[in-house]
Amino acid sequence: MDKRRGPIMVPRESPHYHRMRYYSAIRKGLKHMSQSTTYLDVPTHVIDDNAFIIFQTGREDPHDRKHSSLSTIFSIWNTMVGSGLFTIPWAFSNSGIVLGLIISFITFAISYYTCSIYVRLARNDSDFADTMYKYFGKKGWVVTMIFSILLMFSVIVIYYELMSQALFPVIAALIEWGGASEVSLDMGLDLSRFSLFYTCIALTLILYPVVSKRDISMFIRLNSFGIIFVCFILIYILAYGFYSLSNTTFEISNEESDLEGTTRNISLFRNKFNNLAGMMTLGYYIHNVCISIVKENKHPENNTRDVFIGYFLVFLSYSLVGSLGYLGFSGYTFKANIRETENLLYMFSATDMLAFVIRIICFCQMFSVYPMLFCVIRNQFGTIFYQGRELSNDIYLAFNATLLIVATIIGATFPKVGSILGYVGGFIGLGLIYIIPISLFLKRYKLQIEDPNLVEALDNNTVRSVKRKNPEFSPKLVIEESSTSSPGKQDIVNQTSDMTLQESLLQNGSYKTYKKSFLKFYLLCVIHAFIVLIGIIILALQFLSFEEW
């Protein structure tokens, strides 16, 4: 018999309890008189849901996995690279090309490293927050969920800004072609004439019914076209880069370019690299999504390799777009200073045909993704505040409306996408990319030294938590008997040991190797502290700026 399941008991206070007992007494009595007893049998729709076993999606059969390595790599690349490409050349212009490449590389390396921690440690968990719950309990789960929901909210705001800033020139162009005078593309808050503000209002009115639609299958299908859009954008930016290389003379200098002349200055190192650092942190973030992508991999042993290749491709993309984009859009054909325009597309007038088309493409790409962002943030909200129950209709609509209104306000009053990306990347990146995975890694490492059985059980999800008699202590973790490799071994492990550590070590191995492992652990702590330090510096930089060196 499966020892893990006990009988489902109706609580005594519930009126069901006595009713069911009474009915079963009637049934028993009838049996006694040898009469039919199929009536008064409890029908399934009356039974408590807890009596049914729920299929756990985190424990799928590995043979169900479908995707090849190539598909996995492609998904990883597609998820990270998007319309944000338009802000990278601006960031590179502020940091200088060489410094930009260096920063890009550093953030790539660190992000990949922490992402691989996620992939290795999460195993069959469906969500990273569950892994955190396993190792850090409720607090870990809460912190992860808060960061995730903040991140999703920031992405919603950023996408909103990008959409409104793509839509604004498109409408302006249509107005101009309709015969009106030229509409200024100034992004300041101006209520007197058609401006970004009115675009935002229009956009919100369009978006509200779209994101409130419950059936998102249409958008999922649309989203698969998104990759074509992204390719267009990439080609466009790179092409411009090559074009400018051919017709402009570039000089290496940190001075502002003389916009009237034909030569342009290109910096290699500048001191305003804070934006790039923050932006890159966010640019390499797919940590929580990565788990679901990688789960479908046909050969899970290749997971870390595939993630690496995916990340590397993204690094290449960002580097190319950054450097060539910077070169391209500093070309002498432009009269605007790239250092000031955070969104590349604003280098063009509203009526430029090519830009017009590209703007529409950008808008479509983001529009197809937008409802799904809302879907994710609603799920997160539901999981945190409503224990995963479905949101009632009122809350559902109110939630969507609130998010859109906040996004509109920010989009209209602070349309600086690059800066927002920097701040968000710095702060949330610090949490989700630096601190959380590293603390998870270190905790597991330490636990591996102290209690390898527990770690193995946690990996395989064969632990349960058992409430202690004294409610002040955190729940005990109990490894289920079927999972321990040595039969008959009673492995009840506490997070705060009853047995001293020395005693348990004497059972498991020598004290010397234990000490050596611990030394290694401390060393790892120090190394990883450096990584976290980098994260903190990046965050700090968003708010400071150095003087010119």
Residue 405 CB, nearest approach to another protein (Å): 31
Tell me the C-alpha to C-alpha distance, in Å, between residue 28 and each of 12, 44, 46, 132: 21, 20, 20, 50
Helices (H) and strands (E) in the chain, counts: 18, 5
The piece of 28-36, 233-241, 283-291, 305-313 that touches another protein (CB under 8 A) is 28-36
Residue 84 CB-half CA count within 13 A: 29
Q: Is 314 in contact with 104 (CB distance < 8 Å)? A: no
Min dist. Cβ of residue 22 to another protein (A): 4
In whole angstroms, the minimum distance from the beta carbon of 41 to another protein comes to 11
Show the tokens assigned to 388: 């995963």
Q: Which is nearer to another protein, 37 or 69 (CB)?
A: 37
62-65 long-range contacts (CB < 8 A, ≥24 apart) are 62/300, 65/295, 65/296, 65/297, 65/298, 65/300
Please, which residue, 43 or 471, has the CB nearer to another protein? 43
Q: Would you call 448 exposed, middle or buried from its count of C-beta atoms within 10 A (0-12, 13-18, 19+)? A: middle
Q: Is 506 in the site for another protein (CB under 8 A)?
A: no
Nearest C-alpha neighbor of 283 from the set 411, 149, 438, 108:
108
Decide whether 36 or 217 has the Cβ nearer to another protein. Answer: 36
Q: Which is nearer to another protein, 51 or 201 (CB)?
A: 51
Which residue type occupies 319? S
Helix (H) or strand (E) holding 159: helix 128-177
23 is a site residue for another protein (CB under 8 A): yes
Which residue(s) pair with 476 in the sheet? 466
Q: Which of 8, 9, 26, 506 touches another protein by CB under 8 A?
A: 26
CB of 44 to another protein, least distance (A): 11
Residue 261 binds another protein (CB under 8 A): no
Q: Tokens for 528?
A: 């990883």
Contact with another protein (CB under 8 A) among 21, 138, 468, 489: 21
For another protein, which residue of 22, 385, 473, 518 counts as binding (CB under 8 A)? 22
CB of 38 to another protein, least distance (A): 10
- 445 sits near another protein (criterion: CB under 8 A): no
Residue 396 · residue 378 · CB < 8 Å = yes
Nearest to 152 by CA among 402, 373, 470: 373
Least distance CB 40 / another protein (angstroms): 6
Residues counted in the chain: 549
Least CB distance from residue 527 to another protein, whole Å? 58
* Contact between 39 and another protein per CB under 8 A: yes
Q: Which of 8, 9, 42, 235 binds another protein (CB under 8 A)?
A: 42
**Looking at 1, 2, 11, 36, which residue binds another protein (CB under 8 A)?**
36
Q: State yes or no: residue 214 binds another protein (CB under 8 A).
A: no
Residue keyed to tokens 């007197």: 192
Smallest distance, another protein to C-beta of residue 18, A: 4
Pick one of 6, 7, 11, 15: the residue that binds another protein (CB under 8 A): 15
CB of 25 to another protein, least distance (A): 5
471 binds another protein (CB under 8 A): no
Assess 35 for contact with another protein (CB under 8 A): yes
Contact flag: residue 33 with another protein (CB under 8 A): yes
Distance CA 449, CA 467 (A): 25
466 with 450: CB under 8 angstroms? no
Residue 145, number of CB atoms within 10 A of its CB = 20
> According to CB under 8 A, which one of 6, 7, 11, 43 is a site residue for another protein?
43
Find the shortest distance in angstroms from Cβ 45 to another protein.
Answer: 7
| Cα-based distances in Å from 436 to 139, 152, 258, 266 | 12, 17, 46, 38
When the beta carbons of 30 and 106 are compared against another protein, the nearer one is 30
The three-point CA angle 109-110-116 to 5° equals 90
Residues forming contacts to another protein in the complex (CB under 8 A) are: 13, 15, 18-19, 21-23, 25-26, 29-30, 32-33, 35-37, 39-40, 42-43, 45-46
